Amino acid sequence: MIVHLRADTVSVVIDARDLPSIVHWGAPLGDLSEDDLVLLADDAISPIPNNAPDVPIPVGLLPSARHGYPGRPGLRGHRSAGDWLPSLTRSSVARSASEAVFDTEGGGLSVRSTVELAPSGVLRVRHEVRNDGFRAYTVDGVETALPVPAQASELMDFHGRWIREKHPQRRHFDLGSWVRESRRGRTGHDATPAILAGTSGFGFRTGEVWAVHVAWSGNHVTYAERVHEGRGVLGGGELLTSGEVVLAPGETYSSPWVYAAYSGAGIDGITSAFHQWMRARPSHPVRPRPVVLNTWEAVYFDHDLDRLKGLADVAARVGVERFVLDDGWFRHRRDDTAGLGDWYVDEGVWPDGLSPLIDHVTGLGMKFGIWVEPEMVNPDSDLFRAHPDWVLAPGDGTFPPTSRNQQVLDLAHPDAYAYILSRLDALLRDNDVAFVKWDHNRDIIGARVHEQTLAVYRLLDELRSRHRAVEIESCSSGGGRTDLEILARTDRVWASDCNDALERQTIQRWTALLLPLELIGAHVGPPHSHTTGRTQDLSFRVATALFGHFGIEWDIASASPADQEALAEAVAFYKSVRGLLHTGTLVRGDLPDPSATLTGVVGPDEAVFSYVQLTSAERTVPAPVRLPGLAPSRRYAVTPVTPGGAPRSQQVPPPSGATRVLSGRALTDVGVRPPVLMPEQAWLLHLKAV
């Protein structure tokens, strides 16, 4: 059987006459007859060169060393050091218009491979391995492989660290393997959100691009590989330590979903496919994303009721809709060395509980949110002293080294799980909480990451079933856990602990590779960044935070009246365009000068663009900037806007704020001339169709 899955922008053809293998994943092929599909599949069979096996070697969804594949095998495992090369054969195929399910079996194993193609063009694949034998089977790896054609000659992936997440890097797609492994027990600040392969020099708007993302919040691997015959694949899966998953007879292991997308129109096509897919989920937030104020960089651990009330008063005046109390509200938590695990309101700081603050916040018309870090425990805590056996440890009687004064709570331990569930349930039941900032501030060192990750998913699922109106943010010391599987259970991510707007420009730009803007927490920080030491204008901080789920993390009660007024104007502008920002199509420009970037969101009748001068420009006068994504035949009124204040310019006379009307074709093919901006400044344009 040859299976053809189709969407408007992509075709996937799978040869299932033997083990399922993809023979085409790329440009849409239109209607193909059965004869056409057979010819296409036959032509994809590799010729047999000298000094090679005497039969063609397929690149299956689970590539098999048993069948002679010389690259990274898809299924790895054994039974007591035997049966390490299972001989699988196809047993059945079931398909619909958007899905195909392939069953294979052999060597005491059954494997079910599910391939789904969404209308957006997002492809996803996973495998379920069942032990049908009489002895235990150790699973060492189950990794999907998706072939890419020879013209995919260049790779892009991402590196990062705390407060500097998701920075791109490029290389040739040469012979050999480029393997990105994350062994941090969470997605990881340095983990790549995807590996992209594309035609030479592919950009935001140009070139063919293929991308793969592993949706798993624990240890995982993503790789690109080209074997010596020249065939290239992108793939990945969960990264398992030895003996971590052992299947008793009858038990099943399910691999994470591997998500993939193809674009014939550059990186923006990949982004569009993922954004459409995310927005089509039943769980996707549908309410307007409220303006947030988080108290962390305003008060840190200084939880004084009168001060927090005063901050809430100012927040309400500038238009904040959600007030979030960050770290420091629970027992023994006067700094970051103690208290994690003691999830009771600190009676010494809050003698009347949280109600006085919550009532004040909700009385001002805002919703209340709160910070937790339930997967961690401080050694200096009542919980640790009572239950050191609940710490996730190697099992040899020792503890891993602490990190950020923390150990990891073993949520696979039934009693530890029940305790955390009961405390969080009580917190949400007994208080009017609409939002939870769920943090995870250290790597997991040691075994059982697989069990821990599944336990976190169960905990989130159970809490959400009990408190359906509560929204949850995935924070992991910033952007350390932003994969699509954690986002199946949360409503947004905190992109970074860095609120420096210059750093945020890159962080948010590439977090948005997969995630729509409404899922990316982006806050206006203080004038002076505590993570980098930079000082930045309010207009630049506002322009950066607009392209996300807008919020504030700053002691605005101590801000000048002029800054408070400008911030209120910025909040009002965000509210006027958030419907566009959070439903429109994200577009990005390929500019000749790397010192500047262009980002926009285009809707049916309006658009917002941000031209950002990151550093000093290469040229004295910037070239005209083309605005992509507009309807060529429509005319647009183009108005410079200045929420938070006008950008600083080196231009004489200053740039005009006048509205001009131009066609979409002129704006896209000729462009508009930006002002001569100083570094760390942004020029915003609001377009409306006329």
Instruction: Note whether 575 and 595 are same-domain residues.
Output: no
The confidence score (pLDDT) of residue 483 equals 98
Q: Name the DSSP letter for residue 478.
A: B
Average pLDDT rounded to a whole number, residues 166-173: 98
pLDDT of residue 396: 80
Is the confidence at residue 302, as pLDDT, over 80?
yes
Average pLDDT over residues 493-511: 98
Regarding whether 469 and 325 lie in a shared domain, the answer is yes
> φ and ψ at 100, to 5 degrees?
-135, 135
Whether residue 653 is preceded by a cis peptide bond, meaning omega within 30 degrees of 0, is yes
Residue 286 lies in a domain: no
Whether 396 is catalytic: no
| pLDDT tier, 48 (very low <50, low <70, confident <90, very high otherwise) | confident
Lowest mean pLDDT, pick from 86-90, 378-382, 532-536? 86-90
591 in the same domain as 574: no
* 169 and 47 together in one domain: yes
CB–CB of 292/298 below 8 Å?
no
The DSSP line for 553-592 is -S-GGGS-HHHHHHHHHHHHHHHHHHHHHTTSEEEE---S
Q: What is the CATH number of the domain that holds 652?
A: 2.60.40.1180
Please tell me the least confidently modeled range out of 78-92, 283-297, 463-477.
Answer: 78-92
pLDDT band at 670; cut points 50, 70, 90: very high
Contacts of 224 (CB under 8 A, 6+ apart): 155, 157, 173, 177, 178, 195, 197, 232, 233, 234
Q: What is the CATH number of the domain that holds 329?
A: 3.20.20.70
CATH number at residue 34: 2.70.98.60
User: Quick check: 19 pLDDT over 80?
Assistant: yes
Same domain, 514 and 645: no
Answer yes or no: is 657 within a domain: yes
Q: What is the mean predicted confidence (pLDDT) over 182-187?
A: 96
Residue 390 pLDDT? 97
Are residues 195 and 298 part of one domain? no
| Start-to-end CA span in the chain (Å) | 52
269/410 same-domain check = no
Please check whether residue 650 lies inside any domain of the structure: yes
> What is the C-alpha to C-alpha distance for residues 159 and 643, in angstroms, rounded to an integer?
32
Q: Please give the residue that has the higher pLDDT: either 89 or 320.
A: 320
Angle at 120 (CA atoms; ends 118, 121), nearest 5 degrees:
70
| Boundary of a domain, candidates 558, 579, 600 | 579
Residue 287 resides in a domain: no
Give the residue carrying structure tokens 């005063």: 310
| 28/173 same-domain check | yes
Give residue 339's pLDDT band: very low, low, confident or very high (50, 70, 90): very high
Q: Tell me what the mean pLDDT of segment 440-464 comes to.
A: 94
> Are 95 and 40 found together in one domain?
yes
CB 166 within 8 A of CB 479: yes
pLDDT value at position 596? Answer: 98
Cα dihedral 145, 146, 148, 152 sign: negative
Sequence-distant (≥ 6) Cβ neighbours of residue 461 within 8 angstroms: 489
pLDDT value of residue 235: 98
- Of 579, 610, 628, the one marking the end of a domain is 579
Q: Alpha-carbon distance 93 to 112, whole Å? A: 10
Count how many Cα atoms sit within 13 Å of the Cα of residue 150 in the half-sphere of its side chain.
Answer: 4
> Which is catalytic among the residues 15, 439, 491, 500?
439
Our count of domains for the chain comes to 3
Determine, yes or no, domain membership for 284. Answer: no
Kindly give the pairing relationship between strand 407-408 and strand 376-377. Answer: antiparallel
User: Span 388-404, mean pLDDT?
Assistant: 91
Residue 260 phi, psi dihedral angles, 5° rounding: -150, 155
The last residue of a domain, from among 279, 307, 324: 279
Q: Report residue 505's pLDDT band, with 50, 70 and 90 as the boundaries.
A: very high
> What is the reported pLDDT for 83?
81
Asked if the model's pLDDT at residue 124 lies above 80, the reply is yes
**If you search the block for the tokens 């890159």, which residue do you land on?**
506
Examine the domain organization and report whether 594 and 516 are in the same domain: no
Specify whether the CB–CB gap between 634 and 593 falls below 8 A: no
Does residue 447 surpass a pLDDT of 80? no
* Residue 285, in any domain of the structure: no
Is 555 part of the annotated catalytic residue set?
no
Q: What is the CA radius of gyration of the chain?
A: 26
pLDDT band at 65 (very low <50, low <70, confident <90, very high): confident
pLDDT level of residue 69 (50, 70, 90 thresholds): confident
Residue 525 binned pLDDT confidence (cut-offs 50, 70, 90): very high
Sequence length of the chain is 690
Residues 326, 346 within the same domain = yes
Q: What is the mean pLDDT of residues 251-269?
A: 98
Q: Within this chain, do residues 625 and 571 fall inside the same structural domain, yes or no?
A: no
User: Per-residue pLDDT averaged across 469-492, rounded?
Assistant: 98
Query: Which domain range does residue 425 map to?
Result: 292-579
pLDDT in tens, 580-639: 999 999 999 999 999 999 999 999 999 999 999 999 998 899 999 999 999 999 999 999
Three-state secondary structure call for residue 466: helix
- Mean pLDDT for the stretch of residues 394-407: 90
Kindly tell me the burial class for residue 621, based on how many C-beta atoms sit within 10 Å of its own C-beta (0-12, 13-18, 19 or more): exposed
Percent of the chain surpassing pLDDT 70: 100
131 is a domain residue: yes
Taking residues 165-177, what's their average pLDDT?
97
- In this predicted structure, the answer to whether residue 81 has a pLDDT above a threshold of 80 is no
Q: What's the mean pLDDT when you consider all of the chain?
A: 96
- Here the tokens at position 578 are 């958030």
Examine the pLDDT at 59 and tell me if it is beyond 90. Answer: no
Task: Give me the amino acid identity at 585.
Answer: T
Q: Which residue among 268, 497, 500, 590 is the active-site one?
A: 497
For residue 55, the model assigns a pLDDT of: 80
pLDDT at 283 over 90: yes
Closest listed residue to residue 244, CA positions, set 225, 224, 218 = 218
